[in-house]
Structure 1
Amino acid sequence: MFLSIATTHRPATDLGFLLHKHPGRAHETELPFGKAHVFYPEVGEDRCEAALLLDIDPVGLVRGKGRSDGLLDQYVNDRPYAASSFLSVALARALRTAMAGTSRERPELAETAIPLEATITPLPARGGEALVHELFEPLGWTCAIEPVAGADGEASRYVTLRLSGNARLRDLLNHLYVLIPVLDDDKHYWVGDDEVEKLLRRGEGWLDAHPARDLIVRRYLIHRRGLAREALERLAPETRDEAVDPAERKVGAEDALEAPLRLNDERMAAVVETLRASGAKAIADLGCGEGKLLQRLVRERWVERLIGVDAAARDLEWAAKRLKLHLAGGPPEGRVTLLHGSVTYRDRRWEDVDAVALVEVIEHLDADRLPALQKVVFGAARPQTVVVTTPNAEYNALFPNLAAGAFRHPDHRFEWTRGEFRAWAEGVASAHGYAVAYDDIGKLDEALGAPTQMAVFTRAG
């Protein structure tokens, strides 16, 4: 991954004083996951450009130098090559003094807005070019975006971003530090309470008034709702009652929409009955959320072992409370295990189960992450049974309060028609040696089908 910063301020070589990196030398900074190299491709009185090249050790990531919860594994992924939280960490380490806005030799210049240009490539843009503009333009940056072609010239989610504008160098660096992982919508390390402090420090003076403030906070804190609520309350105390992600409210948008149909109850009952019929004794609920399915399954005597996996630590805390883990009246020790993890990275801790449930999960993933999920579940774990449920987009026309073309939940990345879901399921089954059957959940409309569609995959042989 590559970041360059240039200025046409005269003399442009003053950029070296602001960055605390001499233009006549190459500079190297050791990082926990590789090395950051700073060098100057162009040095002149009229224009000076500094580049930061990040050299990540992919083997080091697999050996445990990535996120501490074990989400990174041997699968090939974009982490060593795409601009991400790795680049933010490199900025903070290699250009720490510049980010603080101090310059012993040019203190006045450090406080002065100067013409700056920045280029970042390849930059993941989960949300597309529109989101890039939405994040950077309110901060005074002009954005030039060039898509990065994928394999065989196909479109990808990566772009080359060129920013230009007048600002203090430290403002540019802090904008990049926060917004690069926001665009990636992921981080390579554990996000805890100290991450709120980092966000507030790097966002000082601009984040509180940013029109996309709430989105920036949620994505920077990888959708950890408690942390996002704390950050939003501190940024804007007057919005304390509003600083809750809609998905965290007692009745979320999707639940409220489907409540009159009692669809959640029907969905859970259908999944439990399908798992019972499969003969599974050990079951993993991937994307278990607050543990609603686990709560139903733990009552079933035929279930010997349950594993819940979710990327949201706060949801796992609620699941533990719901299930009364380690409390009197709760399940016996070892019968239920909750794991912090991702459905798109291999995790051997749950791979020996008989069945996997993905209940209303796939629609929360970007479509280009589905192949990773398929490799993890159907390729690596290969349980005997996989149950997948997802909304039927055709049925949305029957919800009176849902606008045409809108999704049932703001976090949904897509909602499939029956044909689209079956095409995906048939492709997965064919590629991985499974048979697949389908069922409808909820009140059936003769023309539009049922509100929820379910696919049940059974491993052949």
Structure 2
Amino acid sequence: MFLAISATGAPERPATDLGYLLHKHPDKSQSFSTSYGKAHVFYPEASPERCTAALLLELDAVALVRRGRGKGRGGAPDAALAQYVNDRPYAASSLLAVALSSVFSSAMKGSCQARPELPARPLPLRVEVPALPASGGAGLVRALFEPLGWAVSAEPVALDTEFPEWGDSRYVSLVLEGEQRLADALRHLYVLLPVLDDAKHYWVSSDEVDKLLRAGEGWLSDHPEQELITSRYLARRSSLTRQARERLELVRLAETDDSAVEEIDNAVDERTDTEEAPVPLAVRRREAIVAALRARGAARVLDLGCGQGQLVQELLKDTRYTEIVGVDVSMRALTVAARRLGLERMGERQSERVRLVQGSLAYTDKRLKGYDAAVLSEVVEHLDLPRLPALEYAVFGSARPGTVIVTTPNVEYNVRWDTLPAGHVRHGDHRFEWTRAEFRTWAAEVAERHGYEVEFAPVGPDDPEVGPPTQMAVFALRAQDTRSRHTRGQDTKEEKAA
């Protein structure tokens, strides 16, 4: 099973940048063990003009059978002999997709510590998959990849070149070409290879919906073949497909409602008697967050759910912040943030202070350990309530910064906006909005569970009846827990050194 990714370069942008993005050195070949065999990464060519990285997956057919998934729709084996004699070792499938996500995990997340500006930069890429099962033919291959900006060549493979009358097989030789971010290209392949094969080698459970939405972020919600992609990726399980499509619709609505949120934020303050322009609520939030960070002497700060990088941009103006890391699950948002910050034009000293990384706050991440402070500004309300404990543990239990600042809307204040219909939340993607009492109860319980103290502050005009438009909680690690935090931070440094 074989896949090759090539990039062409120019004097100011050598093709060997591909090695930085893939975290695999062009001068070395590397092998990785998988559940079903070995994956090998090597570079057939590596020059400033052209660089090609190849992934070769060697499957152990016996191991595949022993783990209960030979061939067939949903991974069910066909017949006794077919379990061992089939196309699995040669044709791109979910086995290759899993190998991609394992071997190139950092590249797929858009992470590059050595060259943090590279993941946001589109590259002239060429992807070659010599043997791709295409249940639906070359026409479906084009229908899946062309809307994503790829130029597609899908040549059917003959059953037997000596007997052309036998016709074509179900396989195509695929070549994709286009200007793409590498992370986007890998995510396209991760989702669409098993979709075209229309079979998975493992049991599909509810966590596959999360995998699909993470890999499909930024492109799947408005793909014209979204229904087919979700159905096949989720092994035609109707309940999971329905769940995925409902969540994709929420994503689409959230993207189209951004202007409405901005309008609400900017309409918080009435003009004063002197008719001065009001200060937008978004600006007031950033001012309150920066003031809280300064008061606690934070120098290394995480902006969790950084969006388009407004807070990161504000912190960069102050040299007291020596390291600023923006984290977001959306590569689209991180790309906008990189443009806003001007990462490609930024001087070396300034660029050393800032990083943008892709990551989900629902999972623990060792990259987030050891920081002075973390900010969750207008983030928690975008999560389903059952997933909130996962975020809580990832931030307060695992990353465990000295200070955590959380801001969230105060639903009681919504009645002060004439433009917001009664009973509506401020954003189409808000899963909930808390009253002041609900927010304080949640924050107090989190602080108690994880060894923090918490204080509350209003953001925006503090209405005597309904309170402020935004409520803020500032968590500080208790003194007796500081030593364990420093120990964890030291462990993180040792892990990095290793």
Local SS of the residue matching 1:338:
strand
Q: For residues 46-445 of structure 1, what are the structure 2 equivalents within 5 Å?
A: 64=102, 184=209, 186-187=211-212, 190-191=215-216, 200=225, 203=228, 219-220=247-248, 223=251, 247=255, 252-261=259-268, 262-328=280-346, 332-445=350-463
State the alpha-carbon separation in 1 of the partners of residues 332 and 362 from structure 2. 19
State the alpha-carbon separation in 1 of the partners of residues 263 and 313 from structure 2. 21
Q: State whether residues 305 and 328 of structure 2, in contact with CA within 8 Å, keep that contact through their aligned partners in structure 1.
A: yes
Q: State whether residues 308 and 336 of structure 2, in contact with CA within 8 Å, keep that contact through their aligned partners in structure 1.
A: yes
Q: State whether residues 250 and 428 of structure 2, in contact with CA within 8 Å, keep that contact through their aligned partners in structure 1.
A: no
Equivalent residues, number: 294
Local SS of the residue matching 1:387:
strand
Local SS of the residue matching 2:375:
strand
1:450 aligns with 2:468: yes
> How much has 1:341 moved relative to structure 2?
0.5
Letter in 1 for 2:335: E
State the alpha-carbon separation in 2 of the partners of residues 301 and 457 from structure 1. 24
State the alpha-carbon separation in 2 of the partners of residues 340 and 310 from structure 1. 5
State the alpha-carbon separation in 2 of the partners of residues 194 and 458 from structure 1. 39
Q: State whether residues 288 and 308 of structure 1, in contact with CA within 8 Å, keep that contact through their aligned partners in structure 2.
A: yes
Local SS of the residue matching 1:386:
strand
Q: State whether residues 182 and 219 of structure 1, in contact with CA within 8 Å, keep that contact through their aligned partners in structure 2.
A: no
> How much has 1:333 moved relative to structure 2?
2.9
Structure-2 residue corresponding to 1:165:
none
Q: State whether residues 268 and 293 of structure 1, in contact with CA within 8 Å, keep that contact through their aligned partners in structure 2.
A: yes
User: What are structure 2's unaligned runs of at least 5 residues?
Assistant: 1-65, 80-93, 110-132, 141-194, 200-204, 232-242, 269-279, 480-498
Local SS of the residue matching 2:456:
strand
Cα shift readout 1:268-293 (whole Å, capped 9, x = no counterpart): 10001101111111000000000000
| Change beyond 3 A, Cα 1:398–1:335 | same
State the alpha-carbon separation in 2 of the partners of residues 415 and 302 from structure 1. 34
1:37 to 76, 94, 97: 76
Structure-2 residue corresponding to 1:117:
none
State the alpha-carbon separation in 2 of the partners of residues 218 and 414 from structure 1. 17
User: What are structure 1's unaligned runs of at least 5 residues?
Assistant: 1-25, 41-55, 72-94, 101-169, 175-179, 207-214, 224-243
Cα shift readout 1:81-121 (whole Å, capped 9, x = no counterpart): xxxxxxxxxxxxxx985999xxxxxxxxxxxxxxxxxxxxx
State the alpha-carbon separation in 1 of the partners of residues 77 and 136 from structure 2. 13
State the alpha-carbon separation in 2 of the partners of residues 452 and 222 from structure 1. 23
Letter in 1 for 2:378: E
| Change beyond 3 A, Cα 1:298–1:430 | same
Letter in 2 for 1:372: A
State the alpha-carbon separation in 2 of the partners of residues 192 and 393 from structure 1. 28
| Change beyond 3 A, Cα 1:199–1:248 | closer
Q: State whether residues 246 and 253 of structure 1, in contact with CA within 8 Å, keep that contact through their aligned partners in structure 2.
A: no
State the alpha-carbon separation in 2 of the partners of residues 199 and 30 from structure 1. 31
Local SS of the residue matching 2:433:
coil
Letter in 2 for 1:296: E
Q: State whether residues 246 and 252 of structure 1, in contact with CA within 8 Å, keep that contact through their aligned partners in structure 2.
A: no
Percent same amino acid at aligned positions? 37
> How much has 1:309 moved relative to structure 2?
0.3
| Change beyond 3 A, Cα 1:340–1:412 | same
> How much has 1:195 moved relative to structure 2?
6.0
State the alpha-carbon separation in 1 of the partners of residues 67 and 398 from structure 2. 42
Cα shift readout 1:121-160 (whole Å, capped 9, x = no counterpart): xxxxxxxxxxxxxxxxxxxxxxxxxxxxxxxxxxxxxxxx
Q: State whether residues 286 and 358 of structure 1, in contact with CA within 8 Å, keep that contact through their aligned partners in structure 2.
A: yes
State the alpha-carbon separation in 1 of the partners of residues 405 and 384 from structure 2. 20
Letter in 1 for 2:354: V
> How much has 1:450 moved relative to structure 2?
0.3
Cα shift readout 1:396-431 (whole Å, capped 9, x = no counterpart): 111111111110000000000000000100000000
State the alpha-carbon separation in 2 of the partners of residues 201 and 407 from structure 1. 27
| Change beyond 3 A, Cα 1:196–1:452 | closer
Local SS of the residue matching 1:339:
strand
Letter in 1 for 2:255: A
| Change beyond 3 A, Cα 1:189–1:367 | closer
Instruction: Provide the aligned C-alpha RMSD in A.
Output: 4.6
